[in-house]
Amino acid sequence: DTARSFYRFPLPDLHDIYRALPVLAQERYFIENQLYKKSCGICQRDTTILFYDCTNFYFEIEEADDFRKYGKSKENRPNPIVQYGMFIDRNGIPIADLCFEGNRNESFSMRELEKTLEKDFGFSRFIVCADAALNGFENKIYNDRKANGAYIVTQPIKKLSGKLQEWALDPQGWQIPGYPEIYNLNSLEKTVKVAGKEVPTKTVTFYKGRWIKTNKKSQETGKREVLEEHLIVSFNTKYRDYQRRIREKKIECAEALLKDPGKIAKTTDQRNPRYFIKPADSEDDKNQKYELNIRRITEDMRYDGFYAVTTDLEDEDIRLIIKSNHQRWEIEESFRIMKSELETRPIYVSRREAIEGHLLTCFLALMVYRIIEQYLKEKYTIGQIIDTLRTLNIEQVQGAIYKPGFARTEITDQLSEIFGYQFAYRVMEEKELNKIVKNAKAKNVAKMKNNKKGAETL
């Protein structure tokens, strides 16, 4: 429907679009490889660290088939699903993706897509960052053993052994990357002295690290492997305050639920307000009462502000490791964008190659959005950018004369400056529009300088 409003756009029939999807899927990595190479010339790409994560898409069908299988849906739906993994770079721009059966374990997919990056994309050196569920022991061994490979994996502090957990939460022995001073977390105030200067404490991330060893049998190699890795714990007061605000809101919801016990159900999901509710001691089983789980709330507060990772990187990479902790959210945001603003769901095709083609088109849309977002220096939300692009239309006045059909905003002015076309405040003739369409098909519509200061438009 959107394509119908495009100027001089050849509008294919719907069945032609569906027939094209398997063709796109067949050439998936050629397309993604070429897009990566071309994008390096028009925007900033940073592949020193690659972030990987998986999501899935459900289908409203009654029976599973060879590709759409029953699995654990991210939305907790009982429907068959398709799994989807993706690598993005440090700037949040997608690199490559992978579709696989809904009932398969996610962990294999990261290694498989890494091999594609090495073989088809020519990537020789990169650090993989993922959560513990995806980057388990087998993937750690794979990245640790291969030439020029490395990993950064989130490590839940609650799952550390007793002595390691005690060490991680100990308020003593903390440092700031790049400085020799030792800090005690219990002594922190609103400002902290760094190299003789007072700086706001909330702007500083503290850390401590130690090396640990794991001896375990590998399913891939069939023998016991010894893995030495760097356990790094970071602490930030801003992150601590954020976690406390979120918990307070959950407790408020939990207190509201206590007024209606019929809606209370047991859960192990820590994101659910019901997690902080427990059955009250009562002799009346028929009229079970509930209360806040103060012990659980108090225990949960112990971990506020702390974040841990394991890695095979050395001490000199501490800044890089800690900074990567704050960038993982971008891939989760990318999945949210695909499922909401880009309307990846519902998926109306059923064959595997058509589903893969559909998800590839959504991958391409996400990539275009991320590049535009970088051009706009990340000043606007996804909603603002998408709404602007969707309404950026022209209207035919009469004959070969056209006028702007949208409201002029700061975003439209910046887009006009970037791409060299200004539609917002003048009438245009058809021959001028035709020239713009012709130029838009040329190779260098817009360029960006790659420098340390950030993206600049030419």
Q: What does the DSSP assignment read for 312-330?
A: S--GGGHHHHHHHHTTTHH
Phi-psi map region of 429: left, alpha, beta (phi>0 left; psi -120 to 50 alpha): beta
Nearest by Cα to 344 from 39, 24, 94, 84: 84
Give the per-residue pLDDT at 13.
81
Residue-level pLDDT, tens digit, the chain, 458 residues:
666 667 777 777 888 889 999 999 999 999 999 999 999 999 999 999 999 999 999 999 989 999 999 999 988 899 999 999 999 999 999 999 999 999 999 999 999 999 999 999 999 889 999 998 888 999 999 999 888 889 999 999 999 999 999 999 999 999 999 999 999 999 999 999 999 999 999 999 999 999 999 999 998 888 999 999 999 999 999 999 999 999 999 999 999 999 887 778 778 788 888 899 998 876 555 677 889 999 999 999 999 999 999 999 987 778 888 888 777 888 989 999 999 999 999 999 999 999 999 999 999 999 999 999 999 999 999 999 999 988 888 888 888 888 888 889 999 999 988 887 777 777 888 888 888 777 776 655 554 444 333 433 22
Contact, 168 vs 308, CB < 8 A? yes
pTM of the entire predicted model: 0.85
Token look-up 């659910």 returns 272
Q: Where are the domains of the chain?
A: 1-131+328-375, 152-236+307-314, 239-301, 385-457
CA distances from 78 to 81, 107, 290 (A): 9, 22, 29
CA torsion 364-370-372-373 (nearest 10°) is: 160
Contact, 367 vs 39, CB < 8 A? yes
Distance CA(128)–CA(225), nearest Å, equals 20
Q: Is 351 helix (H, G, I), strand (E, B) or coil?
A: coil
Distance CA(244)–CA(250), nearest Å, equals 10
Distance CA(213)–CA(131), nearest Å, equals 19
Give the per-residue pLDDT at 400.
86
DSSP E strand boundaries for 182-312:
191-194, 197-200, 206-217, 224-235, 277-279, 290-292, 306-311
CA torsion 319-321-323-325 (nearest 10°) is: -150
Contact, 437 vs 8, CB < 8 A? yes
